Structure 1
Amino acid sequence: MGVDSGLPDFRGREGFWRAYPALRQQGLSFEDMANPARFAEHPELAWGFYGHRLKLYRETVPHEGFAILRRWADRMSRGAFVFTSNVDGQFQNARFPENRVHECHGSIHALQCLNVCSSDTWLAEEFHPLVNEKTSELVSPMPRCPRCGALARPNILMFGDWAWIDVPYEKQRERLEAWIATVQRLVVVELGAGKTLPTVRRFSERNARQRLIRINPREPNTNPLHGVGFEGGAATTLKLLDLARG
């Protein structure tokens, strides 16, 4: 979904390295960087990667597909609820209500203590990262935990991550489940969810009950018991479907 707004596609090493050539020179993959151990081993590099992403996501304007989904939701008696593995906050930027979004992998716009001195999380609004593009290292001050002063990290579920604070997202999940219980004929529009980390696919297939619309440029196949698949990008396919429905 975010790629069509101009955000980097981290699928595969080549996509990641195109976005961060300095990390290619060091032989580092997305999995290497999206690991909490990187903050302990090389915090300037870890925050250079996440700081660059935070700044990029703040500056990115959501594409037209978000507005199309919102218009569809406005016509539904129960509206819509967003279930997303994206951490970029683009749905909120596109004016989807905060209480109708479940970010199952967390949000880059929130921080937590690296040492988990408490279960607190806080917004990253006061953190304005400056990154050396040649080295991908943060050159501005790193964020600190307001409680204990330890290094802060993004409140995002990473690889090998046993210290992620999921309290805010458990509350989101509870709201999502309560909403689903009120909907008689749930339709799931799934956008760009792959098989490598199938969290979103599993959610879609568990809840769609033959009313799944799967939009995917690489893996659009779906079991007929679940619904239909369309091969294509999110923005373009949503526009075509919106035109087709008049």
Structure 2
Amino acid sequence: MASATTDRPLHDLLFGRDPGEAVPTHAHARELIANVPHECERLAALLRRADAILVGTGAGWSADSGLATYKDVADVPALRAVDLSYYDLCQTRWLREDPAVYYGFWGYCLSSYRRATPHEGYRIVKKWSEDLCNRTPRFRERFAAAKLSPVFIYSSNVDAHWHRDGLFTEDATFEFHGTCEDWCCSGSEAEGRMSPCCQDIWPVPADFHFVIDEKTMRAESKESAEPNESSASEMPEHGGCPFSLAQKLGNPNRPRCPRCRSLLRPRVLHFGDGKFFEREGERERFERWAECVFDCMTLCSAPLGDGEKDPAKHVLGASAGASSGDIYEDKGAKGGEEAFCLAVLEFGCGLNVPSVRRESERHLDMYPENCVLVRVNPDFPLVLEKEPRQRIEIMAGALEAVRAADALLRGKEPEVPKAKPREPLPKPEAKPRARSGSRAKKG
């Protein structure tokens, strides 16, 4: 069903919101899809010119590795049977109300992320990073002095795939929603509200896994293995690893904090989560990277903010993106060959969790003539209220767009991304949300 006035398909967002103009009309979607090859050419040309790259990734990026997006991550028969959604399960209160539900879900997520193989796009982005560092980009010494790469990953994904096999180091990534590979104290043993005793982080050992009943998606506890006073004293011989101790006690489904014996939780941002914390130094590194970008922009007298917008000063030329036949190549001289160029590449970031989209747009707002935002999304590729020279809108999947742009960079014939507008969905009926704890079977 589509709106009679806007002809926009309705999308089933996590919270039932109407995305409004962020969704292209059916007619506009057809134009965007027809224009995908040209937009991939613009992306390749931008990469050749870029002095720094910010890569933002959301759930749609991980989907190309076979992982579920937000609204589908809890879409399994056992959880549908008890009417539990991702929103319901991503709550720390389950640690007290029904830990078997909590560990069943998060243990399933951890296992799914580990089984999945990061798709080819990760290594292509790594090649782009190496290409940028190996050529002689202007301003590179600014990043080198700060011990930072000119390419930075800003991701809301919690699968830790950017670090798989040493792909990117912590110095070049900010996983601001945390990761399922890190666990921490939940404070479940505290009186009253859950209050963690510390912000220690315990990585999950590679050989550890939760024991989950696939029919019920529950990770039950063995009562006889519940902790006692002596279990805490055994912690040192297990290298301080609560997961190893839980395995030794025969109860891997209940890892506990070695300090206060509260149940552990993944260091992942939950809904209504006032106890989530970032890894030390993560945000500071990203801010230092952003400061390097700002310093480089200042050195080349880049216009700052909308008040200084001037098409004649655009880093890729005044007419960049103005027509369907226009490509960025050979336009740099008009915008100033000495100008600093920031490419913001955003892959698979939807409207359920728009944090990456906002960060991308913040950089574009700050550097209106020296930054280009590339938004790759099969449903929501629009960059609203920006000039054509400032945006590249690719209505396709992340991996196919990355492959196409990389083929163009290597002088090869790209495989044209195949996309089609999503079929419209019926508008969901609004209904009050019941307290989810009452719907799950206890035991």
- Give me the TM-score of the superposition, normalised by structure 1: 0.91
Task: Please report how far the alpha carbon of residue 186 of structure 1 lies from its aligned counterpart in structure 2 after TM superposition.
Answer: 2.1
Kept in 2: contact 1:32–1:38 (CA 8 A): no
For residues 106-131 of structure 1, the C-alpha deviation after alignment (integer angstroms, 9 at most, x for no partner) is 11111111101112222122742121
1:59 aligns with 2:220: no
Task: Please report how far the alpha carbon of residue 87 of structure 1 lies from its aligned counterpart in structure 2 after TM superposition.
Answer: 0.5
Kept in 1: contact 2:64–2:398 (CA 8 A): yes
Kept in 1: contact 2:103–2:253 (CA 8 A): no
Partner of 1:123: 203
For residues 132-181 of structure 1, the C-alpha deviation after alignment (integer angstroms, 9 at most, x for no partner) is 11111114432111211110111111001111133x1x521110111222
Root mean square deviation, CA, Å: 1.7
Kept in 1: contact 2:158–2:178 (CA 8 A): yes
Task: Please report how far the alpha carbon of residue 79 of structure 1 lies from its aligned counterpart in structure 2 after TM superposition.
Answer: 3.6
Counting aligned pairs with the same residue, the percent is 35
> For residues 17 and 87 of structure 1, what CA distance do their matches in structure 2 show?
15
1:204 aligns with 2:276: no
Question: Residue type matched to 2:204 in 1?
Answer: A
1:231 aligns with 2:231: no
Given candidates 171, 175, 181, the residue that maps to 1:109 is 181
In structure 2, runs of 5+ residues without a counterpart are: 1-60, 134-148, 188-195, 221-251, 297-340, 411-443
Given candidates 115, 120, 125, the residue that maps to 1:69 is 125
> For residues 354 and 186 of structure 2, what CA distance do their matches in structure 1 show?
27
Kept in 2: contact 1:127–1:143 (CA 8 A): no
Bigger fraction of residues in strand? 1
> For residues 264 and 73 of structure 2, what CA distance do their matches in structure 1 show?
24
Partner of 1:100: 172
Residue 138 of structure 1 aligns to a residue whose secondary structure is: coil
> For residues 292 and 275 of structure 2, what CA distance do their matches in structure 1 show?
33
> For residues 16 and 180 of structure 1, what CA distance do their matches in structure 2 show?
32
Kept in 2: contact 1:107–1:155 (CA 8 A): yes
> For residues 236 and 39 of structure 1, what CA distance do their matches in structure 2 show?
40
Given candidates 63, 68, 74, the residue that maps to 1:3 is 63
Partner of 2:259: 147
Question: Residue type matched to 1:119 in 2?
Answer: Q
Question: Residue type matched to 1:42 in 2?
Answer: D
Given candidates 32, 35, 54, the residue that maps to 2:88 is 32
Partner of 1:50: 106
Residue 171 of structure 2 aligns to a residue whose secondary structure is: helix
For residues 70-119 of structure 1, the C-alpha deviation after alignment (integer angstroms, 9 at most, x for no partner) is 11111224441110000000111161112211011111111111101112
How many equivalent pairs are there? Answer: 240
Residue 277 of structure 2 aligns to a residue whose secondary structure is: coil
Given candidates 214, 217, 226, the residue that maps to 1:136 is 217
Which structure is higher in RCO with an 8 Å CA cutoff and minimum separation 6? Answer: 2
Residue 99 of structure 1 aligns to a residue whose secondary structure is: helix
Comparing 177-186 and 61-70, the one that deviates more: 177-186
Question: Residue type matched to 1:192 in 2?
Answer: G
Question: Residue type matched to 1:128 in 2?
Answer: H
Given candidates 198, 210, 218, the residue that maps to 2:379 is 218
Residue 292 of structure 2 aligns to a residue whose secondary structure is: coil
Kept in 2: contact 1:144–1:150 (CA 8 A): yes
> For residues 345 and 198 of structure 2, what CA distance do their matches in structure 1 show?
37
> For residues 146 and 29 of structure 1, what CA distance do their matches in structure 2 show?
31
Question: Residue type matched to 1:60 in 2?
Answer: A
Partner of 1:89: 160
Question: Residue type matched to 2:216 in 1?
Answer: T
Residue 88 of structure 2 aligns to a residue whose secondary structure is: helix
Question: Residue type matched to 2:151 in 1?
Answer: A
1:176 aligns with 2:286: yes
> For residues 112 and 260 of structure 2, what CA distance do their matches in structure 1 show?
29
Comparing 112-121 and 208-217, the one that deviates more: 208-217
In the TM superposition, structure 1's runs of 4+ consecutive aligned residues that sit over 6 Å from their partners are: none
Residue 181 of structure 1 aligns to a residue whose secondary structure is: helix
- Which protein is bigger by CA-based radius of gyration? 2
1:188 aligns with 2:260: no
Question: Residue type matched to 1:221 in 2?
Answer: L
> For residues 271 and 396 of structure 2, what CA distance do their matches in structure 1 show?
28
Kept in 2: contact 1:89–1:107 (CA 8 A): yes
Given candidates 62, 66, 80, the residue that maps to 2:151 is 80
- Give me the TM-score of the superposition, normalised by structure 2: 0.52
Residue 163 of structure 1 aligns to a residue whose secondary structure is: coil
Residue 6 of structure 1 aligns to a residue whose secondary structure is: coil
